Amino acid sequence: MNTQKPFPTATSDTGFLQEPPHLKNQYEDDIVFKNILKKSLPASVLAEIEPDLSRFGDRVTKDILVMGDNVDTPNNHPQLKQYDAWCRRVDEISTAQGWKELNDVAAEEGLIAIAYERKYGQYSRIYQFAKQYLYMPSSAMYSCPLSMTDGAARVIEILGTEEMKNTYYTRLTSRDPRKFWTSGQWMTERPGGSDVGQSETQAELTEGSTWSISGFKWFSSATTADLTMLLARTIDPKDGTVRTGSKGLSLYVAEMRQPDGQLNGVRVHRLKNKYGTKGLPTAELQLSGMKAKMLGNPGRGVPGIASILNITRIYACLGVVCALRRCLAIAKDFAYKRHAFNNTLDKTPLHITTLAELELIFRAGAQISFYCVELLGRTECVEQSEGDAAILRFLTPIAKAYVCKIGVNACSEAMEALGGQGYMEDVGIGRQLRDAQVNTIWEGTTNVLSMDVVRVMKETKGQCLVTFENMIKEKINRSVQTSSKLSEAAKSVEIALDNIKQFVKATTSKIEMESNARQLTFALGRTLAGALLIEQAAFDVANNIEGAEQDVFVANRWCCVREFTQELILINTSLVLEEAKIVFGSAAKI
Ligand code: MFK
């Protein structure tokens, strides 16, 4: 029988005190991330940027983390003051000190600038997103204004006038905090968040090329931005008519404030009370005569703003991946330190297996995100990159829908890995989970993105699937030549590809295509991740890189499980009708 002397009575200061988990350098401590960069960057570029990444990887655990914590402190959440003491309308939104500091850090660190200076050509995007990856989990959603700023810079680069490029673009891509501007992106209105074609806001030409915009925007994220990109229904200057639906919408750019500092026809109706992203000011806005300029052609607002969405969607995808990475960093360090049932958690079989599942999801998501970034860089910097643009157009909604969905669930699981402590605000997982959740919603919900996948298939008459298959096969065929240990995984990917093709063939009606869109999107995401994990493992083996053995294991573990190769279950029309009955109680008219 084990006996021991009685313990002294524990008080709040004596007795057991758990050693807390600590964050190490977020670049040096992340072999998955480092290996992705090795695969996707020329060695000379990586050698040049690595000191900056290593320095920044340390900084995001120090002053930047303090700024983020300051932003997410309840007393510091944004406040709206609508009137001054004399009943003058002022509509001032105050934000945390940390919020302002995060803005300055973003400019100084070149978190937008790097992508547009293009010092490393197509690889500049990877460098920029590598820094975003490090910055996001510490910055309490300053990545939101930054992602929209990035999208706005790109749209101005594509569609803007010389004047816009000399003024707005220069500011959006500046490294000088005194010059740096951020941009918002206002689409959502009360009748339609997903179905933007129902928007009510209207734009009327007043003088020269200046438009006057009036209406009500229901969600405006980062309302303290200096500039905004917005959609409005164009009143035809010739006959005063407006066109209904999304073809009547044009894209406009407007400054938040007029030269005298007054708001530019904007009234802040109220701040939103959100589930997460608490430090990010999101507001309802009344627009009355907001002066704006049109970007691109009238009626082409949705395709115009889609250039922003296609960038912010990659941010959303990466945002979940790095949130999960942060949750895992905390959970892993805790596992080394926490004793339970006569062992530390890192030696407890079920705990190991649970964290390994999350590690797989993280690695899969990181591969998909950085592959999209790689393609984005090529489309912006390489001539004749139409093929890359076509595949990126197809992969972006797949990446956003699939990675955000599996990643948020994994963040929730990581919270549980610390037991009750995981649920405590000051441990650091709560904010990650809350903030990650929005990424499944904004910039298109999972269903909207799944329908976007269907849209691309329709628009390309199925060619995107052929391109997808070729790209995947090219990656896995090349990889198995490097390592025979990847053959099983590669075979699984081929089976998964065949299943997808059979599945698409079997969906014959519009109803079937739509009701199966989510399944299809997830299967495409899962398969893409498989091919990229195989490619990473082969690269590591070929170059004898640290972590190669684990990456071979990961590729096999991801691809050689039942869910990966299982056939997709076709939801046919009669099944949808039956499902409608169990959900809504009666047969749906669809
Ligand atoms: C860390 C991350 C931070 C992120 C911060 C973000 C904060 C900002 C918060 C927000 O602003 S949330 C609001 C986000 N809103 C959305 O994402 C809207 C979601 N809805 C959709 O995406 C709908 O699919 C869409 C509005 C595009 C549907 O509109 P329509 O008019 O029914 O679409 P239609 O007719 O299919 O497409 C119109 C045109 O746009 C077509 O081109 P054509 O006219 O030439 O045929 C489409 O091909 C084109 N298009 C649509 N989506 C596209 C696109 N083109 C390129 N890329 C896309 N993604």
Distance 422 CA to ligand 1 centre (A): 36
Q: Indicate which residue's Cα is closest to atom 22 of ligand 1.
A: 444
How far apart CA 229 and CA 155 sit, in angstroms, is 9
Q: Could you tell me whether strands 227-234 and 183-186 are parallel, antiparallel, or unpaired per DSSP bridges? A: parallel
Which atom of ligand 1 is least distant from the CA of 397? Answer: 59
The pLDDT of residue 11 = 82
How far apart CA 487 and CA 348 sit, in angstroms, is 31
3-state SS, residue 111: coil
Second CATH level (architecture) for the domain 183-299:
Beta Barrel (2.40)
Residues 147 and 170: beta-carbon distance below 8 Å: no
The answer, as to whether pTM is greater than 0.85, is yes
**Residue partners of 239: CB distance under 8 A and separation at least 6:** none
Beta bridge partners of 233: 202, 249
Burial label for 32, CB within 10 Å (0-12, 13-18, 19+), is buried
Residues 142 and 390: beta-carbon distance below 8 Å: no
3-state SS, residue 587: coil
> Within 13 Å of residue 467, how many CA atoms lie on the same side as its CB?
17
Q: Indicate which residue's Cα is closest to atom 49 of ligand 1.
A: 303
pLDDT in tens, 128-162: 999 999 999 999 999 999 999 999 999 999 999 99
Which atom of ligand 1 is least distant from the CA of 312? Answer: 4
Q: Indicate which residue's Cα is closest to atom 5 of ligand 1.
A: 144
Q: Indicate which residue's Cα is closest to atom 58 of ligand 1.
A: 306
The pLDDT of residue 200 = 95
pLDDT band at 2 (very low <50, low <70, confident <90, very high): low
What is the average pLDDT across 387-413?
97
- Written in H, E and C, the secondary structure of 341-367 is CCEEHHHCHHHHHHHHHHHHHHHHHHH
pLDDT band at 453 (very low <50, low <70, confident <90, very high): very high
- Residue ranges in 338-442 assigned as alpha helix (H): 349-381, 386-416, 429-437
Q: How far lies 225's CA from each of 173, 180, 444, 556, in Å?
A: 14, 11, 21, 46
How far apart CA 177 and CA 100 sit, in angstroms, is 10
The pLDDT of residue 97 = 98
Is it the case that residue 7 has pLDDT exceeding 80?
Answer: no
377, 363, 358, 313: which is closest to 521 by C-alpha?
313
Pocket of ligand 1 (CB under 6 A): 143-144, 147-148, 185, 187-188, 194, 196-197, 221, 246, 302-303, 306, 309-310, 312, 315-316, 319, 442-444, 448, 452, 455, 459
Distance 510 CA to ligand 1 centre (A): 20
Distance 421 CA to ligand 1 centre (A): 40
404, 508, 505: which is closest to 449 by C-alpha?
404
Residues 57 and 25: beta-carbon distance below 8 Å: yes
Distance 112 CA to ligand 1 centre (A): 22
> Within 13 Å of residue 130, how many CA atoms lie on the same side as its CB?
31
Is it the case that residue 367 has pLDDT exceeding 60?
Answer: yes
Which atom of ligand 1 is least distant from the CA of 459? Answer: 48
Distance 576 CA to ligand 1 centre (A): 26
394, 523, 400: which is closest to 466 by C-alpha?
394
Q: Indicate which residue's Cα is closest to atom 41 of ligand 1.
A: 303
Which atom of ligand 1 is least distant from the CA of 396? Answer: 59
Q: Indicate which residue's Cα is closest to atom 40 of ligand 1.
A: 303
pLDDT in tens, 252-307: 999 999 999 999 999 999 999 999 999 999 999 999 999 999 999 999 999 999 99
**Residue partners of 383: CB distance under 8 A and separation at least 6:** none
Residues 83 and 100: beta-carbon distance below 8 Å: no
Q: Indicate which residue's Cα is closest to atom 36 of ligand 1.
A: 455
How far apart CA 518 and CA 531 sit, in angstroms, is 20
Q: What is the dihedral of CA 93, 98, 100, 102, to 10 degrees?
A: -130
Residue carrying structure tokens 């004749």 = 384
Residue type at position 230: L
Straight-line distance from the first to the last Cα atom of the chain, in angstroms, rounded to the nearest whole number: 71
pLDDT band at 588 (very low <50, low <70, confident <90, very high): low
Residue type at position 144: C
Q: Could you tell me whether strands 202-207 and 210-221 are parallel, antiparallel, or unpaired per DSSP bridges? A: antiparallel
How far apart CA 457 and CA 246 sit, in angstroms, is 20
Distance 450 CA to ligand 1 centre (A): 12
Second CATH level (architecture) for the domain 31-172:
Orthogonal Bundle (1.10)
398, 375, 353, 355: which is closest to 527 by C-alpha?
398
pLDDT in tens, 533-566: 999 999 999 999 999 999 999 999 999 887 888 7
Q: What is the mean pLDDT of the chain?
A: 95
Distance 226 CA to ligand 1 centre (A): 23
How far apart CA 370 and CA 276 sit, in angstroms, is 25
Burial label for 473, CB within 10 Å (0-12, 13-18, 19+), is middle
Distance 199 CA to ligand 1 centre (A): 13
Distance 309 CA to ligand 1 centre (A): 7
Q: Indicate which residue's Cα is closest to atom 53 of ligand 1.
A: 306
Distance 252 CA to ligand 1 centre (A): 15
Residue of 138, 221, 302, 372 to test ligand 1 pocket, by largest number of atoms within 8 Å of CB: 302
Which atom of ligand 1 is least distant from the CA of 310? Answer: 59
How far apart CA 153 and CA 242 sit, in angstroms, is 29
Second CATH level (architecture) for the domain 303-440:
Up-down Bundle (1.20)
Q: Which two tokens mark 400? A: 């956003």
